[in-house]
Copies of this chain bind each other. A is one copy, B any other.
Amino acid sequence: MKQNKSTPVTLLQVAKHAGVSRSTASYVLSGGPHVSDSTRKKVLESIRQLGYVYNRSAANLRSKSSSTVGLVFPDVNNPFYTALLAGINQELNKYNKTVILGTTFESLSAQDRLISTMLEYRVGGIILFAVPDTPEELISRIKHLGIPVVLINRNFTDLSYDYIGIDNVVAGTLATNHLIKKGHHRIAFIGGFNQLSSWQERKQGYKDAHHKAGLEIDSSLIVEGHATRESGYELMDQILNLPNPPSAAFCYNDIIAIGAMMKLKERGFTPGHDMAIVGVDDIPEASIFTPKLTTVSSFPQIRGARAAKLLNERMEGLTMNPQSIIVQPELIIRDSCSYKKEILPHSTK
**Using a CB–CB distance below 8 Å, which chain A residues touch chain B?**
1-3, 5-6, 8, 51, 53-58, 60-61, 68, 75-79, 81-82, 85-86, 89, 98-103, 105, 113, 117, 119-122, 141, 144-146, 229-230, 233, 259, 262, 265-266, 284-285, 288-290
Offer 18 A-B interface pairs, CB within 8 angstroms, sorted by A: A1-B144, A2-B144, A51-B141, A55-B61, A55-B120, A56-B122, A57-B58, A57-B61, A57-B122, A77-B78, A77-B79, A77-B82, A100-B101, A101-B102, A229-B285, A230-B284, A230-B288, A262-B288
Given B8, B55, B77, which contacts A77 in the complex, CB threshold below 8 Å?
A: B77
Given B82, B119, B288, which contacts A53 in the complex, CB threshold below 8 Å?
A: B119
A8 & B284 in contact (Cβ 8 Å cutoff): no
When distances are taken between beta carbons in the complex, the residues of chain B under 8 Å from A146 are 5-6, 8
A98 & B117 in contact (Cβ 8 Å cutoff): yes
- Most chain B C-beta atoms within 10 Å of own C-beta, residue among A57, A85, A284: A57
Given contacts A82-B77, A101-B102, A266-B290, contact A122 B55 (CB under 8 A): yes
Given contacts A57-B60, A229-B285, contact A102 B100 (CB under 8 A): yes
CB distance from A62 to the nearest CB of B (A): 10
Bound Cα distance A194, B348 (Å): 46
How many copies of the chain does the oligomer comprise?
A: 2
CB distance from A5 to the nearest CB of B (A): 4
Bound Cα distance A272, B215 (Å): 43
CB distance from A34 to the nearest CB of B (A): 24
When distances are taken between beta carbons in the complex, the residues of chain B under 8 Å from A121 are 56-57, 68, 121
When distances are taken between beta carbons in the complex, the residues of chain B under 8 Å from A119 are 53
CB distance from A35 to the nearest CB of B (A): 21
B101 & A229 in contact (Cβ 8 Å cutoff): no
Bound Cα distance A51, B138 (Å): 12
When distances are taken between beta carbons in the complex, the residues of chain B under 8 Å from A290 are 262, 265-266
CB distance from A177 to the nearest CB of B (A): 28
Given B53, B61, B68, B86, which contacts A58 in the complex, CB threshold below 8 Å?
A: B61
B53 & A145 in contact (Cβ 8 Å cutoff): yes
A229 & B288 in contact (Cβ 8 Å cutoff): yes
Bound Cα distance A86, B49 (Å): 40
- Beyond A51-B144, A86-B105, A100-B100, 15 additional contacts (C-beta under 8 Å) are A5-B145, A54-B120, A56-B122, A57-B57, A57-B120, A68-B121, A76-B76, A76-B77, A76-B82, A77-B78, A89-B103, A101-B103, A259-B288, A262-B290, A266-B290
Nearest B residue to A290 via CB reads B266
A233 & B288 in contact (Cβ 8 Å cutoff): yes
Nearest B residue to A2 via CB reads B144
